[in-house]
Structure formats: C-alpha cells, structure tokens
C-alpha cells in the first residue's frame, strides 16, 4: 500500500511569514512529486512539481525534495491571507502512471 | 471556456438510483481520471483511462463503472447509489506520461445520496 503522509494541520502563520508544509512517502521508487492547492469546495490547482533532489523555486514557492529520506516539502515565502487553503502533496507512482495523494495540510494565514 | 468540464455540478439522488457523472475536456489529453474526495480523506482514485481502449480500476472502484466514449469524454456511473457514496467527485486529465505529467482537474460534482 503506497502511502503519502501529511500533517493535517491547521498550520497557522502570520501574514508575511514563511509557511513550511511537509510530506513523506512510502514508495521508494517514486520519481515525481506534486504540490496542489485546494480552496474549500473547489478543485485542486497545481502549484509546482519536482523530480530532482534539491530545491526548485517558482516565485514565492520553493519545493524541496530528499529522495533518500523520502521527504518533500513546500515553502511559501511572504505568506498572504489568500494563501489560506489546503495543500495536497501527490506522489507519482512507479512507471509514471497514477498519483497517490496525501490527505492535505490546511494552512491559515492571519492578517 | 474551461478546459475540463463536469456535469452536473450538484446532484441529489435517492438510494438505489442509477446516476451518471460526465466529464469532457478540450485539452487534447489522452489520460483521464475519476476521483472522489471525502472530508479529511484526501483524493481517492476510482478509475483511470490512458486512452479510449484502456480502462483501469483505481483503489476504490467497487460500486462504480466508467465509460470512455471518446478521447474527450469519460463518464462515471453509480449503478445503485448508496448513502456512503455521498462525496465530491473530480475528473482530471493529463498528457501522455513522463515525470512532469501534470493532472488538471475539473470543477467537481457534489453528489448527495439520501
């Protein structure tokens, strides 16, 4: 059973702070990792993906991957109230077939 | 216009009824997926299709069936709806695989089974 674990939260940060969201996965053969943002009652939207060890930056977002530790994280710099949402970590299964999603971490950014 | 559309957006039905949820996409993607989402349980894969002739069960396919009518259309059916199928259902599409194969989601269908 492939598992993707996320802390359900809520993670509360003040506006302007850095939010750090974490995800661990069980399938050592996984190659690609995705972060989605989901507002309540809405569909998931892709933030970014990463498949090489290290950091990948896109605007205020940085994804970090450590395959040896089976750990992926998302940093959000200068957090805004509009970033308040649930963040879903998704792991692409071996063979580039389907995604396994974590249950998501709720982020609350207070003004 | 949205790239991935789902109909209906909301549906209330009764136990035992047959219901079909439809998904259409204009992205030209080969791969299509159906998920359900329950509060606190994340997204669970029901069925997926990598092309018109390819249908695969996901982790929670019992009680569901699908039809891939064309590259752009993928329908999900509940043959005899039961209350624990009350959930938010999402259709998604992706291109043809590889490490950056990103899934794009439709707006969702909120289904209530009484």
Note whether B6 and B92 are within 8 A (CB).
no
**Residue A1 pLDDT exceeds 80:** no
Whether chain A has a CB inside 8 Å of the CB on B104: the answer is yes
How far apart (Å, rounded) are the C-alpha atoms in residues A67 and A37?
A: 22
How many CB contacts within 8 angstroms connect chain A with chain B? 52
CB pair distance less than 8 Å for B41 and A103 = yes
Q: How far is CA A84 from CA A33, A81, B60, in A?
A: 21, 6, 30
Handedness of CA B38, B32, A87, A81 (dihedral sign): negative
- What is the reported pLDDT for B42? 86
Given a cut of 70, is residue A102 above it in pLDDT?
yes
CB contact under 8 A, A44 and B106: no
**B101 pLDDT above the threshold of 90:** no
Residue of B nearest to A93 (CA): B99
Best mutation target, A50, A93, A97, A99, to test chain B (most B CBs within 10 A): A99
Residue B98 has pLDDT above 70, yes or no: yes
pLDDT in tens, A68-89: 999 999 999 999 999 999 999 9
Residue A2 pLDDT > 90: no
Chosen for mutation from B4, B40, B44, B102 (greatest number of chain A CBs closer than 10 Å) is B102
Q: Give the 3-state DSSP-derived string for chain B, with helices as H, strands as E and coil as C.
A: CCCEEEECCEEEECCCCCEEEEEEECCCCCEEEEEEEECCCEEEEEEEEEECCEEEECCCCCCEEEEEEECCEEEEEECCCCHHHCEEEEEEEECCCCCCCCCEECCCEEEEEC
Closest chain A C-alpha to B11 CA, distance in angstroms: 15
Which of B42, B48, B97 comes nearest A88 by C-beta?
A: B42
Backbone φ and ψ for B7, nearest 5 degrees, come out as -135, 140
Q: Is the pLDDT of residue B18 over 70?
A: yes
Is residue B97 over pLDDT 80? no
Please write the tens of the pLDDT for every residue from A12-57. 999 999 999 999 999 888 889 999 999 999 999 999 999 999 999 9
Higher pLDDT, B5 or B41: B5
Q: Do B45 and A44 touch (CB under 8 A)?
A: no
């Amino acid at each position: 059973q492939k598992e993707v674990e996320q802390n359900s939260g809520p993670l509360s940060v003040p506006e302007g702070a850095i939010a750090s969201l974490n995800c661990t996965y069980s399938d050592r053969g996984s190659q690609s990792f995705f972060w989605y943002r989901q507002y309540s009652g809405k569909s998931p939207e892709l933030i970014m993906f990463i498949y090489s060890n290290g950091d990948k930056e896109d605007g205020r977002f940085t994804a970090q991957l450590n395959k040896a530790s089976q750990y992926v994280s998302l940093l959000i710099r200068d957090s805004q109230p509009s970033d308040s949402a649930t963040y879903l970590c998704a792991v692409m299964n071996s063979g580039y077939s389907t995604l396994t999603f974590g249950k998501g971490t709720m982020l609350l950014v207070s003004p | 216009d949205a790239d991935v559309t789902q109909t209906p957006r909301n549906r209330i039905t009764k136990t035992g009824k047959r219901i079909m949820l439809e998904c259409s996409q204009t992205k030209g993607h080969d791969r299509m997926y159906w998920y359900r989402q329950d509060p606190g349980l994340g997204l669970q894969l029901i069925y997926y299709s990598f092309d018109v002739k390819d249908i695969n069960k996901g982790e929670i396919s019992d009680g569901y069936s699908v039809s891939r009518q064309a590259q752009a259309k993928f329908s999900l059916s509940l043959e005899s709806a039961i209350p624990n199928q009350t959930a938010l259902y999402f259709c998604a599409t992706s291109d043809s695989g590889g490490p950056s194969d990103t899934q794009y989601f439709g707006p969702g269908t909120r289904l209530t089974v009484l």
